[in-house]
Structure 1
Amino acid sequence: MKEIKVPDIGNFSDVSVIEVLVNVGDTIKIDDPMVTLESDKASMDIPAPQGGVVEAIKIKVGDKVSEGSLILVLKEANEPSLNVAASGSQPKVAGAAAAVSPAGGTEEVKVPDIGDFKSVSVIEVLVHVGDVIKAEDSLITLESDKASMEIPAPKGGKVKEIKVAVGDKVSEGSLILLLETADAASAAPAASAPAPSASAAPVAAAPTSNVNADDFRRAHASPSVRRIAREIGVDLAKVAGSGPNGRITEQDVRAFQAGGGIAASAPAPVAAPAPTPSAAAPAANNMGGIQFITQPDWSKFGAVETIPMSRIGKISAKHLHRAWLTVPQVTHFDEADITELEAYRSGMKDKAKAMGFNLTPLVFMMKAVTAGLKEFPKFNSALADDGENLIQRKFYNIGIAVDTPDGLVVPVIKDVDRKGLFELARELGEISKKARDGKLKAGDMQGGCFSISSLGGIGGTNFTPLVNAPEVGILGLTRAQERLVRKNGEIVDRLIQPLAVSYDHRVIDGAYAARFTAHLAFVLSDVRNLIL
């Protein structure tokens, strides 16, 4: 047996577990991702240091972990299994539910011996009144803080009455349902066929040849829901779960099938053209928590190549998708006249170059943003988890989006308010090089208050940057443009910098954002304003 623990992850501590990517019994290889952790600045997969069979999982989604925290127990594939139940897996209990016959062929089905579990939550009721079930069919799913388990039927029969509901707390001996046994049911005409459940639309079985086995296995669903999905040909990796913690329910699976393969929680397309009668509607996919439209077979139209996304790209995609779905974002546009600022920068850049670094416009933007955060402190806050309070930061750390060969990363420059232009320029050059070389440590991407995304070296006239949650604001920059403007009654040539500030509308209103952006423009209009 080998205990697998969280390795050195830099300065991260008490990081949230947002995904558990393996289940008890999985055979994993070295470097297979086991869990995904997320701080306020980055998400990261923790890879397996060696191969083996997952014997027990010691953490669950929502836990806080640090270096040295126990993730799971791994064993060699040829060792006997201890069959330890873990959070995220739903084994059936060793014994079926107890059945007691009060009278007349109707039996009380109760919770059997479930070990030391007491007052366990019912998270799913898997049968309906009128259903005809067989022995060992799952009746309900229970979940404690350590494990999930299904309670199977002790015998076949027809469900006459259900005595529990989702959210109830049960223990050994709690009454689950009344079952009309097969012998009693046979006296009633036409009782051999199961009655369809109220929520289940009749569907034909479909082939499952296109289902990805690994993704199917790792979907957050109970064994009974998996069985139903297999029977009707639904790929669980494509279904959005509506249950607790994103758990996929039977209703989710049947709604997905009835909707022609559209994930139940996926937003409907807006103003999309209606498909032609001969066109098959593409299905919404929810692989890895990212909803997208399933692709047609492009090879029918020409040569294609599948290129794996980089690890950074996959992590960024998940983070940005969550941010877009969570944060109601608005972008405010303005302009700053940076003619005088650019003249000063041009006069100082040779001196900076002689000292071994570049004095870029981004350094001035960082100082201007810091001045704006001091003047408008809501932009330097975060929405508390309760949604009713703001966490007001008293420090000024600025994240800088850096384009690297592997994708976009956001290292953080700490204590911008305490550093001069040359010190910031040197640090910005160093951390940008580390980012491009893939040498950033976890601590380099922690603790940001506000981010800047600059496309000035590439081009463009404006864009809408996405808020890097849990921050509440981000500044987007494109290339400054020379423009003829009227100033003091004369037509003069000025250098104009477009500004795009996206903000979390739950924290920032439009007028506040407009004043913040106008303040940025004021600070940038004269380099002397940076010291106010």
Structure 2
Amino acid sequence: MEVKLHDIGEGMTEAEITCFLIKPGDYVQADDPLIEVQTDKMTAEIPSPKAGFIREIKVKPGETVTVGTTLLILDASNSKEHRKQIIPEREKKIAERSPMEKINQRIVVTRQNHDKRILASPFTRKIARDNGIDIEKVSGSGPAGRIIDEDVYQFMTASQQTKTAIRQEEIVASSEQTSYANDTIPFRGRRKQIAKKMIHSLFTIPHCTHFEEVDVTDLIQFRNELKKRNENISATAFFLKALSICLKEFPIFNARLDEENEVIHLKHEHHLGIAVDTEDGLIVPVMRNVEKKSIRSIHAEMKQLTEKALENQLTLKDISGGTFTISNVGPLGGSIGATPIIQHPEVALVSFHKTKKMPVVTDDDQIIIRSIMNLSMSFDHRVADGATAVRFTSRFAELIHDPKLLLLELV
């Protein structure tokens, strides 16, 4: 039977083959992991639909394949005849040996097959790959011999002296070279998937970006007061709650455009995507039903999602179903504005930038120093107009300028 790449994520159309967890001739049980793949959002393992022998692998590591592509051929029969068809040379050699040799050979084969069934999470495998570690050489200390992150790190430490020696030899060899080559980095995996998704969004959605200045002076002061009471709530948690209030008042930005049926679907649930900068590229975990959550719970859940994103441990549910996206690049410093690309098929995205102190003229012509944050809002101009975007960001600025107003909107 053919084992094909199926849709493992919302809107997924393709994935990159990162590594094989089996080889031709291996026997697998139902649900055993077969192949590890990488999409623009997550790393996942393709499980075996049935028990049987791996007859043939149809794809190669590093290859990008579309949904529906045949990955491998699985012989789901457990009969001895089918076994001989799959690994004829091995059976022939065993048949030619003496009874005692046959027993010993089958023990070796069984042990080899058992050894190849490596138990490890995709993230653990990634640690090994990124550090050039053959995971089959690592001894697992987890349940049933499962290899955990610490096992890989210990293996790396044990071989550190060898790696250092190799590194020194490479440096010496490099210094003796008379010609130089350009540095390159691979364009595949999540980076390649992100690129394709961004191109699709940019050429599908007519982007328009609106900029706003937001006075966060009182919010900073309010957060400092909370810290004195051991309540360390991030500014982003307040931003998310304020955005949810704005989306309730301006639902056009929490919508989906269905051009085929000529209708705009307004979403009542606020599932907000939070862009996280990871080593492998941008990933957007989704916080669900922000409209029903307190600022304290928003902060706690956002922290959990961010940690899972950085550790590459997000589930399918964690990254799907977003209705609106935010990107907080202010903590990185230096950013005063941008034209962020919308997450298709969403309608809008807001990016928060650097906060800096600057002089502000009051209504009575007094000059005072306030903390001002820049905001960029990209929106789908097919769905909404600039005037609506201005009203949306003005309402957001009002709520953040005086955070006590948030209390009036809580339900």
Common fold: TM-score over 0.5: yes
Which of 347, 353, 373 does residue 478 from structure 1 map onto?
Answer: 353
CA contact 1:6–1:46 (8 Å) conserved in 2: no
What is the Cα deviation at residue 449 of structure 1? 1.3
The residue type equivalent to 1:517 in the other structure is T
Tell me, in whole angstroms, the C-alpha distance in 1 between the residues paired with 2:291 and 2:304: 19
The residue type equivalent to 1:431 in the other structure is L
CA contact 1:334–1:499 (8 Å) conserved in 2: yes
Which of 157, 179, 185 does residue 307 from structure 1 map onto?
Answer: 185
What is the RMSD of the two structures over their aligned residues, measured on CA atoms?
3.6
Tell me what 1:365 maps to: 239
Tell me, in whole angstroms, the C-alpha distance in 2 between the residues paired with 1:414 and 1:497: 26
Q: How does 1:315-464 map to 2 (within 5 A)?
A: 315-352=193-230, 358-386=232-260, 388-459=262-333, 460-464=335-339
Aligned CA distance change for structure 1 residues 79 and 54 (closer, same or farther; 3 Å): farther
Tell me what 2:51 maps to: none
Tell me what 1:74 maps to: 73
What is the Cα deviation at residue 312 of structure 1? 2.2
* Alpha-carbon displacement from aligned partner over 1:420-458 (angstroms, at most 9, x marks no partner): 111111111111111111111111011211111111111
Tell me what 1:466 maps to: 341
The residue type equivalent to 1:305 in the other structure is D
Tell me what 1:493 maps to: 369
What is the Cα deviation at residue 370 of structure 1? 0.7
CA contact 1:16–1:62 (8 Å) conserved in 2: no
Aligned CA distance change for structure 1 residues 312 and 381 (closer, same or farther; 3 Å): same
What is the Cα deviation at residue 303 of structure 1? 2.9
Which of 378, 401, 410 does residue 525 from structure 1 map onto?
Answer: 401
The residue type equivalent to 1:441 in the other structure is T
Tell me, in whole angstroms, the C-alpha distance in 2 between the residues paired with 1:334 and 1:530: 19
CA contact 2:191–2:281 (8 Å) conserved in 1: yes
What is the Cα deviation at residue 318 of structure 1? 1.5
What is the Cα deviation at residue 306 of structure 1? 2.4
What is the Cα deviation at residue 18 of structure 1? 2.4
Tell me what 1:507 maps to: 383
Tell me, in whole angstroms, the C-alpha distance in 1 between the residues paired with 2:261 and 2:180: 50
- Structure 1 or 2, whichever has the larger Rg, is 1
The unaligned stretches of length 5 or more in structure 1 are: 23-27, 64-69, 81-299
What is the Cα deviation at residue 526 of structure 1? 0.4
Aligned CA distance change for structure 1 residues 339 and 32 (closer, same or farther; 3 Å): closer
Number of residue pairs the alignment of both structures matches: 286
CA contact 1:44–1:315 (8 Å) conserved in 2: no
Tell me, in whole angstroms, the C-alpha distance in 1 between the residues paired with 2:302 and 2:317: 15
More helix per residue: 2
Aligned CA distance change for structure 1 residues 386 and 350 (closer, same or farther; 3 Å): farther
* Alpha-carbon displacement from aligned partner over 1:17-48 (angstroms, at most 9, x marks no partner): 624989xxxxx996475xx989xxx5878768
Aligned CA distance change for structure 1 residues 335 and 5 (closer, same or farther; 3 Å): closer
Verify: 1:52 aligned to 2:47, yes or no: no
Q: Secondary structure at the match of 1:304?
A: coil
Q: Secondary structure at the match of 1:457?
A: helix
Q: Secondary structure at the match of 1:390?
A: strand
Aligned CA distance change for structure 1 residues 3 and 61 (closer, same or farther; 3 Å): closer
Tell me, in whole angstroms, the C-alpha distance in 2 between the residues paired with 1:352 and 1:413: 24
Q: Secondary structure at the match of 1:347?
A: helix
Aligned CA distance change for structure 1 residues 20 and 395 (closer, same or farther; 3 Å): closer
What is the Cα deviation at residue 463 of structure 1? 1.2
Aligned CA distance change for structure 1 residues 374 and 73 (closer, same or farther; 3 Å): same
CA contact 1:456–1:479 (8 Å) conserved in 2: yes
What is the Cα deviation at residue 351 of structure 1? 3.7
Aligned CA distance change for structure 1 residues 487 and 315 (closer, same or farther; 3 Å): same
Q: Secondary structure at the match of 1:482?
A: strand
Report the identity percentage. 30
Q: Secondary structure at the match of 1:527?
A: coil
What is the Cα deviation at residue 501 of structure 1? 0.3
After TM superposition, the score normalised by the length of structure 1 is 0.48
Q: Secondary structure at the match of 1:478?
A: strand
Tell me, in whole angstroms, the C-alpha distance in 1 between the residues paired with 2:273 and 2:16: 29
Tell me, in whole angstroms, the C-alpha distance in 2 between the residues paired with 1:44 and 1:464: 29
Aligned CA distance change for structure 1 residues 339 and 20 (closer, same or farther; 3 Å): closer
Higher relative contact order (CA 8 A, sep 6+): 2
The residue type equivalent to 1:74 in the other structure is I
The residue type equivalent to 1:447 in the other structure is G
